[in-house]
Structure 1
Amino acid sequence: MINDELESILSEQRLTPLFMPIVNTQERSILGYEALIRGPSDSPLHSPATLFKTAQNCGRLLELELLCRELSMRRFEHLRLEGKLFLNVTPATLLEPDFRSGMTLELMERIGFDANRVVIEITEQLPIDDYDLMKEATSHYRELGFEVALDDLGAGYSGLRSWSELCPHYVKIDRHFIEGLDSALIKQEFVRSILEVARSISCQVIAEGIERIEEHRALNDLGVKFQQGYYFSRPSAQPPRELERQLFRYSNGNAASPALSTQQNLASITHRRNPIASDHPLNKAVELFRQQPDVHSLAVVDAGRPVGLLSRETCLGLYLMPFGRELHERKPVSSYMDKNPLCLEERSGLEAVSDRITRSSTKTPHSDFVITSHNQYLGIGSIIDLLKLVAEHQVRNARHANPLTLLPGSVPANEEISRRLQQKQPFAASYIDLDNFKAFNDSYGYEKGDQLIIFLAECIKKSTDDSVDLVSHIGGDDFLILFGSADWQQRCEQIQQEFQNGIGRYYNDADRKKGGIKSTDRTGRERFFPLATLSIGIALPDLQLCDSYHDVARLASDAKGLAKQQQGHSLFINRRKG
């Protein structure tokens, strides 16, 4: 009966491909999707483990896998998903009598699927301990031009031996080592070791099985860039094309506020020195140091990716030893380099940079670090220059912060507007004004007035994403938000709702029951003022028409003025672009 069910599934193609995103947490983007197959929901072969085991017992494993690949690629193309497609492949299919080389490529040509987008994930649908078969499968797909990933590192056949000898493009850490990572020091040390080996063989590490924000945060702290798990998204027939930015609140990529972006600053301290390859002899490195007396270290780079850092002190120390030159000069640089140097992406936020320095083993001010762009070698930076940069930003931000809310003031806001205009980065400028604040201040006093402003600042911060939105307190009861978030209107409405929910507690019982207070207006006449509300004006500046922050400020101010003409909470969007 089970054989008939398998026959029915294969002949009628009753399989459903689901897709699960693999996330680049530093760039806050999706690297690609892993295709996962499910049998019919009402079938005893719904589970992939049962499905593949049955297919192997019936001698139809290859037929099943080819069908899975075809359906996954066709669905991937139909959905027009971007990024790479990770296809699970069982090594045992190479033993099937009908197997012949090139079947997957032929399938792709028939479908019209770009082979460069496919990563063959050597997976363990079925237990196997045959290392030679594992090696044959990896070599087979590499020779066909595919990128290869090894699944479940630390479980089954995917041990350290297969990883280090087969040198795949990607390796996935088994979920056992991710579960509870935040509180398990042994697991953290395991992940650190994996990262060190991966860096030495130019392999990318993917952590899978992330279900909790604490695990995600722990992986970020360890420097694991690629992550996958229910925390981001469950497998779905309609997977997300982008992820909610709130998921990346603890990611290291650009964790600091946009005003603290180091994209241009790290470039300013980057020394674009020529690197050296890991297989070059030590005497070549020594000669480079002699030609450049001010250089403290050389980046060791293979195929564009940094794999180590070689210091001048190391080379000199070796050459000063008795017979040091004769013993070491012809040995490869890889034997002497630091295989775990501090590496920073040029777009890393200063907050993340400062944290990485604190946790790094690089302690001396003359130590250098490697600067990369999308994991490709860019140049060398020095710790002392970086520490100066961090200190300068901290002093500058403190100097321009509003003393009441400690939020950035008008100077950082204007600079951020200028930066976004220059880089043609779309944004929404939201001007927030507190209605009836003067009457409240006159009736309740300045201390209560300050408490109300602080409450408004908390409502704004709670409703914004500090990884892409800049909140600034530009004076008095006026706030300016530069939204990078696409859902800026919903966030503004959320700010008004948060404020509405909490404003009552700043009034006494009598005023709260009346819905406001009696006070004098600016002309000296006494009148009734309702409970405080928010007027929000929003500008959507045209990046071609607006030349400076003055243009954007004018658009936002005009919108706020029109919003204040309405009673109660109001939101006005200025349709004029420049």
Structure 2
Amino acid sequence: MHSWTDTLRFAFQPVVNLRTGAVAALETLARPETGDILAEARRDPELDGRLAVLAFRAAARKESLLPLHLNVFAATLADLGGLTPLRDAVRGAGRMPWEVTLDIVPPYTHVPHRALLEAVASLREQGFRISADGIGDGDVPLRLLTDLSPGLVKLDASLLARPAAVRAMRTLCEELGALVVVEGVETEHQCAAALAAGAQLAQGELFAPPARIPVVDVYVPPLAPAAVAAPRSGPSVREFVRPAAVLPLSAPAEQVRALLTGSPDVSGVLLVDAAGRPVRSVHRSRFLLSMSTRYGHALYAGRPASKLGDPPRTVGVDATAWEVLDVVAVGGRDRTSDDVAVVDGQGRCVGVVRLADLVRALAESRVEEAAGLNPLTRLPGSDAIVGEVDRRISEGRAFALSWLDIDHFKQVNDGAGFAAGDELIRAVGGALQRAVARQARVGHIGGDDFLVLADEEALDPLVSAVLDASWAVGGRPVTLSLATVVCAPGSVGDHHQAAAQLAPLKKAAKALRGASWVLGRAGLPGHEVRRGGPGPAPAETGFAAAEPRW
């Protein structure tokens, strides 16, 4: 009599890092030849638990070093309270629990949430990683999603038609410390949309279909740098994480050599303790060079590989690419090509980052940024500011958008010359940069016009440092005008609406006498005059009269 396992096969689909184009993990998918074993597993937690074990063993037989994703129904975890047979299977195969991510699959309706959360806590304590699957096409309550606090959130590709929802989920994931994965990506347009919405990982037919033999090379379409969602303070290290080759700290050198010679794409091995914390880092070239010397194999083959390792370089999962470069810069030059281990809050390894990936991405971002800088002040133009405005709006964050210019600037140019005018513009731009001290974004949008994006509480120091300063050209006083619109969450829909709210305030500020500042609030009538006297504003520069800029 044949068992249902006789007709059960498994396929493997890669999870792709959209930043690096590398395969970050493999998801194992059941493919029964007859019947609907998945429907039965949904009703039978014991059967679903056995499927997870079989899926893991099928992946282990492929001898892939990649992290694995296994599907398990939410009801299974709530009913079984954990997956002891899976943990035993993982240990028995010589793998570690933190190399396995459990994709918790809907439905969640009628699943006891307390029991589910307790089971997830137990699995996480054992070292397993947790992913919330089917978001956007399932029934997971938002409150439960935050309580689960998964390391990954898998979104259905249908949500890409609603980019605001994806961006909102990205914001939530940033708060949870989770990565965003988009499932079911089939077209290059969807891939570009996933990147634009801030997803870091994806899987689907576009990259590689499920296959009986795990694939390493996947197709990732070339994307323009503008398609990549701009990070808040430099690219996050999460966007560059590659799977780590890990072995126990006690592993002999011969085992490390076998791993490296059998996997030419592995640049190094991390030796970890029983909790998965990196203790030693073995660099591929240095290790193989030591083993290949005249007596190297005889000296080291049976000894612990840690003797040929170095202290690992580590960064937290919340680090930025710039912080990784700081870590690489410390120490000898011979270690600049070493992988940097990325660790979670418990110090456990979640992967590695390679210097080449970081340098390439940072160079691209710098080239793009430099192309948008104003050649006079070296400040970004309006694109950088309005892009940040739209991000703040999508994230539901309040902000203050300010416009500043030099009063009667044409008269300055006509009376003192364009060189003096350029020098004044540079001085004002430099003063703005120093005043905000990284607490705001400053843009030079052309001529003598500047934009400043900041939190409302940063406005007073800005005004004191710039607007209240004494400005002069050729011994003649010069004044500045400032207009600010404060936008509360929901008060504007995009940067166009914010600019429309700012326009009448700018006109009101220019109508005042002397240095002026007008502040209004989006959606509310009227404005507040914080600096400046009643108009009309005279030509205070003392230069020859000229037509007003308006």
Alignment TM-score, normalising by the size of structure 2: 0.46
